[in-house]
Structure 1
Amino acid sequence: RDPCRVRQGANSYGQLAQGHVEDLSEPRLPDAAALKDGALRSLSGGGGHTAAVTENGELFVCGQNHRGQLGLGHNADLSTLQLCHSLNQRVTKVVCGWDFTLLLNDCGRILACGSNAYGQLGVGQHITHSADLLVIESLEEPVVSVAAGLRHSLAVTDSGCVYQWGRGLFSHAKRALSPRSVPSHLSSPVPSLVPGLDQKTSRMVTAGLAHCVCLTGDGDLFLWGSNKRGQLTATEPFLSSPTLVKRSLLGNEKVINVWSGWTHIVAQTESGRVFTWGRGDYGQLGRQASTSQNSKWPSTDPSGEGRNQEACLPAEVKVLRGATQIACGSEHNLAIVDGCLLSWGWNEHGMCGDGSQSDVFQPQLVSGLSPLLIGCGAGHSMAMCAAKN
């Protein structure tokens, strides 16, 4: 069966590859003739753009391109998928920040394009944005994992070291740490070694709006950055260095995979259990918070905004147990469980695919699809599905 690809959600810049800019609240096949019958290996979306990598290492892009985030050498938006012809190397992974894109090639080098207003491309401060793909030269060791937050980036090298760049966390850190100085890894325009992980061998990273997540080879989870929504399972408003999440909060099990939205985190343990925590008012945690749970967390965060006490603590979403894939948008999520596609969370633009714009508070089935690969943008969703016979 040949794979098909579907899109739903926000489409203001053509990021759904439909040839128009109208939102879609139900899954629909894109105008993707350029892809032919090629299978995909990586899907990602940003604030208004989409990127897909095929099994043979080609990059296809569409959507918003005002900062050159499509890597096509120009700044015109596209409402259909287009091959990046200038790419002369095989790509294995793509991740999208708000208005920038990072690619990992099969040699472990990172290529970057789009906005560099916050140093998020990792190429120094002399470039404000680039429509051409730039190699992050200062990362000489091969990279095995790469992540893009709203305005900051992370990478893990082959030896297990973690690097961070971009000033997306700087203002949060400055407010929380004053009068102390902000550590260099939180404000660097080039990759800076993250301290506090030197005794660990890191395996993968992911990132949120203003926080960072690292998973080690031992199955330990480390978090740092903004804790405004309790996403770091801590009481401090900001953590400047990686802080271990106690295994007792995650069923006393090792973590094998982790994903992040803007202000919430999803983790899967070795037995297949899936835990969520952080911001949950759009339903992005996939669970109704229990009012009977005893919580030691403060009821308000330092900004004075209300913080759901229970949401700060990881809790299992049982319907997601055994999920083979999970993807997080800014405030919504997709998962593949038992070959079925589930969605939940923020749904203002219809990105949960149920035909409505009402937020979804528990994972629900997106009917009629057999998903093979999933991905999310800030407000849109993508899936490669098995075609019906």
Structure 2
Amino acid sequence: MCMAHKSCVSEADSAAAAAALFAWGANSYGQLGLGHKEDVLLPQRLSNFCEPGCIKSVTGGGGHSAAVTGRKAKPSSLLVAKNQGKTCALYITSIGSGNVDVILQRGSPWTAGVLIIISNIRRSSLLPPFMCLVCCILLLYDCPDGGSLFVCGLNKDGQLGLGHTEDVLCFTICKPLLGCPIRQVACGWDFTIMLTVSGSVFQWGTGLASSGRRLCAGQTLPLFLTAKEPSRVMGLEDSTAVCVVAGSDHSASLTDTGELYVWGRNKHGQLASLAAFLLLPQRIDARCFQDEKVTAVWSGWTHLVAQTETGKVFTWGRADYGQLGRRLESPEGQKPHKQDSQLTFWRPQSSVSLPLCCLTGAAKISCGSEHNLAVISDKCFSWGWNEHGMCGDGTESNVWTPSPVQALQSPSRILLVGCGAGHSLALCQLPALSEPCQDVKVIYTLQADTGNPESQNGMNKERNRKERQSVTSTQSNSDRTRNEGP
């Protein structure tokens, strides 16, 4: 279902450029924040649940979304942080139906919060069977003690780090980490990975242990794969991490020297290795990135995206939904690969990191479960899984190469993008309006050659629907005028 929206801005807002949040894709639980539960195949503007210009980041889970604001804004539901009677500078506002009640002890000495949620408690029909709630993590930072970690949710594999396997229904402080200065937390399917301010990496949760034992028979599993409390990841002691990411069954860590380490299950080649499972972190050879340093990394459920120092963007991992932004060269997904110029063997092409020239210089990137968004020259590009219209091209067909989201074309300027498992969010800077209450129009026209007939048909249907509505509205006004008389 394709939907459009127009809004009217006030005279005060018309003097300067305004920001607006758009959402599209899967909406079974109302995660788009549009007031209904129908999928939306084209970006639709949300009503201002807070001041859009305050939004600093947007993200989504399996059936919900969250927006983080950076200054005083009008919050709607999930969390309003207060400390000693003063409202904090950072809010988290839920716009989905799968809200999580945040229960904290009164008087907790914290000043800001970042919420990381993977998915809904209820299994969603729009996701593969293995995708449901993993856990919820609330990271509170800027605290006198250096930060605290609050956790709740599914805990059958000890992924909450509490030392037991009982599910937790309310946010509970992770006592083993009290006093530990935390920089970042990421959640996998049944494990959690954490980065400290000093650059150390910890992991916990036993979900990967069974795969590790089966695929690495006879080898001893490291403690961090079997721990129910935070355990330091072995093999990274001589490096300083600056970022960690998690997929459904893999982890990755980026160092301050631009090296990328990966470990976990390698079913879809997401570890850029021939091994079926990596028990310990393994550095991806710099040659995979054309001998450039990696400056940023993102992860979907089974694929990874990395950007290097010159702005090049590389993708590798699972490719059957188009999530790599390129098609495999052969039906078997295999191609010959040489190692040390001596041994030639067959290597899954999906495990070979290759650059996507069209994404060079991308300012922002976000990965959903199997789709992606990127900001290039202030424009939004999408590619990958599109069953619920999360690529925003008006169709439900997978998008195999990064393509501009035509509905968000100029003069709108993309500020932020965020992905849920099957939906997308984008914060746009709209052009300044010269007249009060002038309509802000979202452009749905396509360029002459889009290379996607289905996308063109989707846009045409939307345009025809709007034209029919306009004609009907005009006729209704005329009939009303005739009936009311002079």
Q: Given the two structures, how large is their TM-score scaled by the length of structure 2?
A: 0.70
Contact 1:57 1:89 in 2 (8 A): no
**Alpha carbon RMSD of aligned pairs, Å?**
2.4
Q: Summarize deviations over 1:200-219 as a string: whole Å, max 9, x none.
A: 11111001010001000010
Contact 1:173 1:238 in 2 (8 A): yes
Take 1:125 and 1:92, find their aligned partners in 2: how far apart are those partners? Answer: 25
Contact 1:43 1:94 in 2 (8 A): no
More helix by share: 2
- Structure 1 range deviating more: 148-157 or 355-364: 148-157
Q: Does 1:295 align with 2:337?
A: yes
Matched residue, 1:20: 36
1:21 Cα offset (Å): 1.5
Contact 1:19 1:31 in 2 (8 A): no
Unmatched tracts of structure 2, length 5 or more: 1-16, 71-88, 120-132, 340-345, 433-486
Given candidates 95, 116, 121, the residue that maps to 2:116 is 95
1:259 Cα offset (Å): 0.3
Contact 2:25 2:41 in 1 (8 A): yes
Q: Summarize deviations over 1:68-120 as a string: whole Å, max 9, x none.
A: x72445xxxxxxxxxxx999844354433232332333324333333323322
The one-letter amino acid of 1:376's match is C
Q: 1:269 to 1:365 in 2, by over 3 A?
A: same
DSSP-derived class of the 1:295 partner: strand
Q: 1:110 to 1:371 in 2, by over 3 A?
A: farther
Given candidates 26, 44, 53, the residue that maps to 1:10 is 26
The one-letter amino acid of 2:427's match is M
Take 2:347 and 2:47, find their aligned partners in 1: how far apart are those partners? Answer: 42
Take 2:417 and 2:220, find their aligned partners in 1: how far apart are those partners? Answer: 40
The one-letter amino acid of 2:29's match is Y
Matched residue, 1:373: 416
DSSP-derived class of the 2:337 partner: coil
The one-letter amino acid of 2:403's match is Q
Q: Does 1:177 align with 2:216?
A: yes
Contact 1:59 1:91 in 2 (8 A): no
1:375 Cα offset (Å): 1.1
More strand by share: 1
Matched residue, 2:12: none
Matched residue, 1:52: 67
Matched residue, 1:156: 195
Q: 1:308 to 1:295 in 2, by over 3 A?
A: closer
Q: 1:10 to 1:170 in 2, by over 3 A?
A: farther
Unmatched tracts of structure 1, length 5 or more: 74-84, 298-306
DSSP-derived class of the 2:296 partner: strand
Q: Does 1:104 align with 2:139?
A: yes
Percentage identity across paired residues of the two chains: 41
The one-letter amino acid of 2:64's match is H
Take 1:288 and 1:244, find their aligned partners in 2: how far apart are those partners? Answer: 26
Contact 1:11 1:380 in 2 (8 A): yes
Matches within 5 A, 1:1-389: 1-33=17-49, 35-37=50-52, 39-55=54-70, 56-63=89-96, 65=98, 70-72=100-102, 89-91=110-112, 93-98=114-119, 99=133, 100-107=135-142, 108-125=147-164, 127-130=166-169, 132-139=170-177, 140-291=179-330, 294-295=336-337, 309-369=348-408, 370-389=413-432
Q: Given the two structures, how large is their TM-score scaled by the length of structure 1?
A: 0.87
Take 1:2 and 1:122, find their aligned partners in 2: how far apart are those partners? Answer: 43
Q: Summarize deviations over 1:150-200 as a string: whole Å, max 9, x none.
A: 222111111111011223323322321234443321132221110010011
- Structure 1 range deviating more: 168-177 or 50-59: 168-177
Take 2:416 and 2:351, find their aligned partners in 1: how far apart are those partners? Answer: 29
**How many residue pairs were aligned?**
364
Take 1:168 and 1:213, find their aligned partners in 2: how far apart are those partners? Answer: 16
